[in-house]
Amino acid sequence: MTSSLNIALAQTNPTVGDIQGNMTQVETLTRRAAGKADLLVFPELVTCGYPPEDLVTKPSFIAAIRKAVDHFVQRTADLDIHVILPTAWEIDGDLFNAALLIHRGKIISTHIKWKLPNYGVFDEVRLFKNNREDAPFKINGICCGLLVCEDMWFPDKAAALKEQGAEIFLVPNASPYEFDKHGQRLGHAQKRISETGCPVLYVNQWGGQDELVFDGLSFIADRDGNLTHKAAPFSDALMITEWQKDDHGNLTCLTPDSVYQKDDTETLYTALVTGLRDYVNKNGFPGVLIGMSGGIDSALSAIIAVDALGAENVQCVMMPSRYTSTESLDDAKAMIDAIGARYDIISITDTVDSIESAIKDTLPPQPSPTTFENIQSRARGLILMALSNANGKMVLSTGNKSEMAVGYATLYGDMCGGFNALKDLYKTQVYTLSAWRNSHRPAGCFGPQGIVVPENIITKAPTAELKDNQTDQDSLPPYDELDAILHGMIEKDQGPTELIDEGFAAESVNQVWRLLHLAEYKRRQAPPGVKITPRSFGRDRRYPITNGYTKSHK
């Protein structure tokens, strides 16, 4: 006798700490799926959002979650649908990353996450207990096993559930975006399928949460490991599929295949837009302020902001000094004309003169030229922060990963800001994305089509314009060389010897090695920004500021 089961995956965008708002989403989708699906699966920790960090150490927070869950159970008692509701859940005084099976006004069973990640941005070991006991459950004669996020990346829980009769795996996730992360997820799913013969239904949250951005890309892989369904990234989705078990126990999905075809560059760009949009909107800012320079970094930051928030919520401020070229002024104006944001020009010449005059009697006889260069940057930071205080808009800083890696940024100057969309982008990627955006506008972006970053901004030599005839390459290797060296040092943890052996110039490698570690104190004070690589600056890469090893090691 055949058995059938309609399973829905709810790809949602929860907000950390907004228990009421998250549960409103959950109830709305539950009512929408009722009558169409027998089982509805939500992403990991959907009740409180992910990652909740130390919010879950507050007894009042856990009590609020339980109250909200109890309310949901009561309000949906009239609906004939099973719901997998992942949540932080306290049992006998211990806190678990759990998933509740709810049906007809009752919590039928509680399932505990086994594998608690404790690397990179994850620190679940300090927050949750794990439990080596779990069992599958049956709905309509089909036995379902639950693997919560990291559980799918290892074979033991899937094997244990298979031994107890599991025929299909449901995988609630809160898996942050990284470039090509989807391929890793699918690869682990296919390993579990090859070991057990069980199809995998993977549901992931989407949206921005501080430095993390979640891409969604929920998917289904059949018992042969074939990818049959995949949701679009960075958007709500309710994927409903029908499964049938034949007399031989084989499970087949009867719903026609539907696989979203992704473009990697578009997904990367949309990750930056989503991360900024949710940071601004979820924190209640009325818009953003950007210091325009006529250079590539502020240009890309500006179009990302317009795409994320709309031109009416973006204010760009050009702050020329005595060193600002006519070319930069023209390029900045051309950029603004293209994207339609508000544009203000505030000269810093008198401000800089005033500061220099105020401190001249206390300076040493021959102060470092950097003293006067940084006054300009800090004058701009002062103006932007004053405007932010006045109108409530958040300052969006514009430095890229290459600059932050080597300290090519000014504390309390161009590093001022509440967020940085480019924080994890190397300089060469900034150029690539700027050129790409001139011929593409992803769905959901508010900015215009066509040329939005003037060609001259892309082709001219980058410069901070803090002194006459200055270019970045006066003090740094060319960016293609710099970024390749930095990628080796940061993403691969390579030392100078390894990179020199690969053919990089010893002078450049040793210079970058020294600058990378000298700038650690600056990075500790940098604003948060969208994480797109496995080794973003922050919790992914933790180095001491006072560090004798890196100063002497070659």
Catalytically active residues, by annotation: 44, 113, 149
Cβ atoms 16, 283 nearer than 8 A = no
Written as six digits, the tokens of 93 are: 């005084």
| Residue 193 to residue 225: CA distance in whole angstroms | 6
Opening angle at CA 120, ends 118 and 124, nearest 5? 30
Length of the chain (residues):
554
The DSSP secondary-structure symbol of 54 reads G
| Residue 493 to residue 485: CA distance in whole angstroms | 11
| Residue 104 to residue 165: CA distance in whole angstroms | 25
| Residue 412 to residue 374: CA distance in whole angstroms | 9
Cβ atoms 198, 145 nearer than 8 A = yes
Q: Measured between alpha carbons, how far is residue 333 from residues 29, 122, 306, 314 in Å?
A: 46, 43, 15, 15
Written as six digits, the tokens of 526 are: 């940098």
- 3-state DSSP assignment of residue 416: coil
| Residue 297 to residue 317: CA distance in whole angstroms | 14
Edge-to-edge strands, sheet with 288-292: 342-345, 314-318, 288-292, 394-395
Written as six digits, the tokens of 465 are: 């314009």
In sequence order, what are the residues at sequence separation of 6 or more whose Cβ sits closer than 8 angstroms to the Cβ of residue 95?
Answer: 56, 62, 88, 89, 127, 128, 129
Burial of 148 (0-12, 13-18, 19+ CB in 10 A): buried
Opening angle at CA 71, ends 70 and 76, nearest 5? 100
Longest dimension (CA), the chain: 94
Closest CA to 46 of 91, 102, 103, 120: 102
- Say how far residue 521 (Cα) sits from the centre of its chain: 23
Other Cβ atoms within 10 Å of 511 Cβ, number:
18
In sequence order, what are the residues at sequence separation of 6 or more whose Cβ sits closer than 8 angstroms to the Cβ of residue 421?
Answer: 272, 275, 276, 301, 304, 305, 396, 529, 530
